A and B are shown apart, each in its own frame.
Chain A
Amino acid sequence: MTNLLLEWIIKTLVILLILVTAVAYVTLMERKVMAWIQMRVGPNRVGLGKFKLWGLMQPLADGLKMIFKEDIIPLQANQWLYVLAPAISLVPALMTFIVIPYGSEITLFGRTIELHVTRLNVGLLYVLALTSVGVYGIVLAGWSSNNKYSLMGGLRSSAQMISYELALGLSIVSVVLYSGSLDLVEIVDAQRGFHGLAWNIFHYPLLILVFVIFYIASLAETNRTPFDLPEADSELVAGYHTEYSSMKFVMFQMAEYLNLITASSIATTLFFGGWNGPSVGRLPFLGPVYFTIKVLALIFLAMWIRYTVPRFRYDQLMRFGWKFLLPASIVNIIISSTVILFTR
């Protein structure tokens, strides 16, 4: 019991450290990709002393800068909720990752260690539940700042997340129907075989359509362009975090990038075989490598979309969510159920 507890604590800490570092470097990746798409160089100066290291120390410098910024709480703001809001948006974002498997199992110091923190038989619902709780951070930030732009950002965000959560949840149903489980570990295990390429998306070609719906909905859930209306710069200054500064602002940014990482990980797990890949059965340590590569590819896709697609108008966003994505995902469930009924 104590050993198991220790293992959990160590795994959780390692995941936490990796996630926080990953968030820092995803921001650097975002700036580099943006620069590349816009034919610029991007941050390339911050290194160790004389060595520039292609700007790899930029996240560290950014972090230090943000810590030493002045922490401002507006006088007319609701003090309690203003301080609480960044935490509410960051904590669920960090919590989602414990159910995502990132490898099969490896032997370390004579112990067999499964490469996932824990498994729940409702793992997928757990992730959905946490994403739906995360919206409160944004909504409360918008309300407690006592600023019109912030309030507009918060309201838009809650409306957007309610609308797109439906399409997100319904698109996942098809995958659950094929896999027969809500446990993410089992969903990945079902995709083993055929030289590690029996991924859901190859196995069931219909899922390509589902993946497109899922990906669009998850972009909207993570408030990324073309769905970044809650923080539309040209209309709302910075939306819900207009009044925030210093580490509170960083916490919102971290939550946003964490959500991006989580969404990409879930997409990898559901559609692209999780940690499965060629010869992963013989070399288990390749699991996390494949997983990371796939997640990074999906994150790159999100960035690519961000810097090449213009922002939606608000009514277009709502119409698209309710009148296209939602019916499309319901039709998908019907087709998937019919296919399963006649093939099994």
Chain B
Amino acid sequence: MGQEKLLFIIFAVIAIASALNILLQRNPLYSALSLIGTLVALSALYVTVRAEFIAAVQIVVYAGAIMVLFVFVIMLLNAPGNQLQLERQKGLRYLAIPFAGLMIAEMFYVVLSIRLSTLPPVPAANAEQAVGTTWSIGTSLFTDYLLPFEVTSVLILMAVVGAMVLARREGE
């Protein structure tokens, strides 16, 4: 148990530090890279709670595909630090304080309501049916959560069709 706790602390610190770094950096590329650091550290945290499937998918989908697109776009535009725009939005800075307070209150509410519980121990015989494995996620996706799953896929299909319509030039 001690080792798991140590791993948790190490990766939690990495996750929070790179999450802060996303906000503190002015260069968009550094922010994107910090976000990748956060995603990788989160995936390591998923492994410590035995959710290997989520951990792997987190890297494949977010760090491997979506963030590559982010970095691609940032590199392509080669955007300089937009100092001017920051100055123009000075009024928003005061609006941020109540929102931050609301956010923190919400976080406290959620954190305080968490019951201290651990995962039930998994017998070695049916280890593949444990929570967080491919088997259990697949089973619950296609039984209990079939409707949300299908609705999400329709939503993604709509986004794809929308992108096609927007990107198509007239007369083609």
Report which A residues bind B (CB closer than 8 A): 120-122, 125-126, 128-133, 135-136, 139-140, 142-143, 151, 154-155, 158-159, 161-162, 165, 169, 182
Contact = CB atoms under 8 A, between A and B. Distances in A.
Nearest to B127: A121
Given A121-B53, A121-B127, A155-B76, 13 more contacts: A128-B60, A128-B64, A129-B60, A131-B64, A132-B60, A132-B63, A133-B40, A133-B63, A136-B68, A139-B68, A140-B33, A154-B75, A165-B64
State the majority secondary structure of interface residues on A.
helix
Interface in B10-47: 29, 33, 36, 40
B64 A121 contact: no
Given A122-B134, A161-B68, A165-B64, A132 B59 contact: yes
Interface in B49-78: 52-53, 55-57, 59-60, 63-65, 68-69, 71-72, 75-76
B133 A159 contact: no
Contact of A143 (B40, B55, B63, B75): B75
Dominant SS among interface residues on chain B: helix
10 contacts: A120-B52, A121-B52, A122-B53, A129-B63, A132-B63, A133-B63, A135-B68, A143-B29, A162-B68, A165-B65
Given A136-B68, A139-B68, A143-B75, A121 B60 contact: no
Contact of A139 (B40, B63, B72, B133): B72
B150 interface: no
B4 interface: no
B71 A158 contact: yes
A140 B36 CA distance: 13
Contacts of B59: 129-130, 132-133
Contacts of A143: 29, 75
Given A121-B52, A143-B75, A159-B72, A182 B134 contact: yes
Q: Which of B29, B55, B56, B57 has the most CB of A within 10 A?
A: B56
